[in-house]
Chain A
Amino acid sequence: MTHNLKRLAALSAAAVAIAWSGAAAAQSSDTDTKNFAVVGNVPAMCVGGTIAGTGGTFDMGVLIDINTGLLRTDLAAPPKVLSGSFCSARSTITVNATPMAAQTFTSTPPAGFSRVVDYTATASGWTTTPAAFATGAGSNPAAVQTRATAFSGDITVSVGSFSTNGGATQRLVADTNYQGNVTVTLAVAS
């Protein structure tokens, strides 16, 4: 009996040892680690910024050479700077422009005269190739330029390459107000 008891005790001890090691394998240990993810997002957006300096008008002054009645060949105006522009993602910049047209003399001018001045508007600083729009051109493939990355910086808008609609020999009708419009658009590109 003594031997039997001892054997039983030994078996019990073995069983406990096995059970304990099994439990230890299932448990982590004296140290536990848990983790969780933190996520968020930032939307793609573009902000056009504001025009610095003395307002948003290119004042071209008198458009004609008063000796000839033809369009001046030296028309120029300081560029406008859009500051504070940014896009938080890939973007496109688009420049669009309407010709300078006589606002009072709106009827069809007589032969030899024109009431419209074409020009080219350019937006540079955003893309390697500036976006450019010629009001007299049939199509303007360069008017839309794409930038592959986010960007923050100034956009310089300038006007140039003025020409009389209808040809250089046309004279401009008198009008105190020739007016056109330049629009620069920043957009998130898909």
Chain B
Amino acid sequence: MKRLALTLLAAVALPGIAHAQATDTATADVGVSGTVAKLCMLGTPTPAPVDVGQMANTSGARVGKIAVIAPRTVTLPGSFCNFAGSAITVTATALVSNDASAVEPGFAKAVNYTADVTNWAAGSATVTTAATAGGGSPTASATGPTQPAPKVADLDVTLSNFTAPSDFLLTAGAYSGLVVVKLGPVASGGE
């Protein structure tokens, strides 16, 4: 009983009055914990904005109609998600004339294109706009396949397949469109 009592005393006293003890070493465990939030970050699109320049033929059999426009690639460097189960959503808005007036018969005031985001999951996130000749319904959206692991990568957004609705003549003026790339968890990736 005496030994047991001494042991108990030591066990209770040791953490509390360690400095008061005559021994030169004491040990205590302090738990350290933390959390890492789910995080996705996209690099700054480079180069941006994208200027495809003059879009209509000025001579030849297709004069006034859309010319062959070379594909353009924009990179979002160092994009990452620190968790598994992420996906890219790409939303593209067709190039539409900044002139709000109604389009004339035989003319279009919109240029559609395909936006393709690669280098995230096994497949790419691809969307093709389908604006009308009058510039209606210019925006389209699509979500790519799921990336099953945390990943960091340079995302490439390729714009290609520029076409005019019904291959009509293009109305003169300045045109502008928009590409929005969204990276997030699959559940909210399709918003």
Chain A residues proximal to chain B, CB less than 8 Å: 1-2, 9, 16, 20, 24, 27-45, 47, 86, 88-89, 149-153, 188
Contacts and interface: CB of A to CB of B under 8 A. Distances in A.
Interface in B56-95: 56, 58, 63-64, 69, 72, 74, 76, 79, 81, 83, 95
B127 interface: no
Contact of B169 (A20, A32, A150): A150
A35 B183 contact: no
Given A27-B37, A39-B52, A152-B106, A32 B175 contact: no
Interface of B: 15-17, 19, 30, 34-35, 37-45, 48-56, 58, 63-64, 69, 72, 74, 76, 79, 81, 83, 95, 97, 101, 103-107, 111, 113, 159, 169-185, 188-189
Contacts of A36: 45, 48-50, 74, 178-179
Contacts of A32: 40-42, 79, 182-184
Contacts of B113: 38
B114 to A, nearest CB: 12
A42 B179 CA distance: 20
A45 B56 contact: yes
Contacts of A41: 53-55, 173-175
B89 to A, nearest CB: 9
24 contacts: A27-B39, A30-B38, A30-B39, A30-B83, A30-B188, A33-B181, A34-B42, A36-B74, A37-B48, A37-B50, A37-B177, A38-B72, A38-B95, A38-B177, A38-B179, A40-B175, A41-B175, A42-B55, A42-B171, A45-B172, A88-B64, A89-B172, A89-B173, A153-B106
